[in-house]
Amino acid sequence: MSKTSGLGWTTLSVDDASGTPQAIKNDFTSVEISTPREVWEITGIDKSAKERLLLLADFSVKMSGVFNPGANASHSVFKTVPSTSVTRTVSLGVAGQSLSAEVLFGDYPLKRDDAGKLTFDVTGMLADGTVPVWS
């Protein structure tokens, strides 16, 4: 088994409002990926330990970054979140592993702190019911 760091991401792209993938990995400072499954507790009264079933799969991605107003950069991708209702493909790649999902973004919050940093945090939620699978 070979272990690796999270350095050197090969892919982190997000579709803009027109559906064109934009390779904006340089604008992100952190990314969190979640692929949870719903768990249903089905313990009968005849049991002394918990019984559970796995149910629906889900996906979410939270990306934090630095404001970049350049053409085809993060701001041009996310500035349309409040004014469009489109599904966007998020593609991730690190250490030879890749994952993509169709997601909806519901907000594009910008934050300017007291030191003058202008940053953003966006969260994408699974949109189409397709289970994301690492490959």
Residue 63 lies in a domain: yes
Residue 121 lies in a domain: yes
**78: Cα within 13 Å, side-chain hemisphere:** 28
Q: Which domain holds residue 106?
A: 11-126
For 32-48, write each residue's pLDDT tens digit. Answer: 999 999 999 999 999 99
CA distance linking residue 124 with residue 71, whole number of Å = 22
DSSP-derived secondary structure letter, 77: H
Predicted model pTM: 0.89
Residue 3 lies in a domain: no
For 94-134, write each residue's pLDDT tens digit. Answer: 999 999 999 999 999 999 999 999 999 999 999 999 999 99
**Angle ∠(33,38,43) on CA atoms, nearest 5:** 145
In the chain, the number of structural domains is 1
Residue 65 lies in a domain: yes
Residue 131 lies in a domain: no
Residue 6 lies in a domain: no
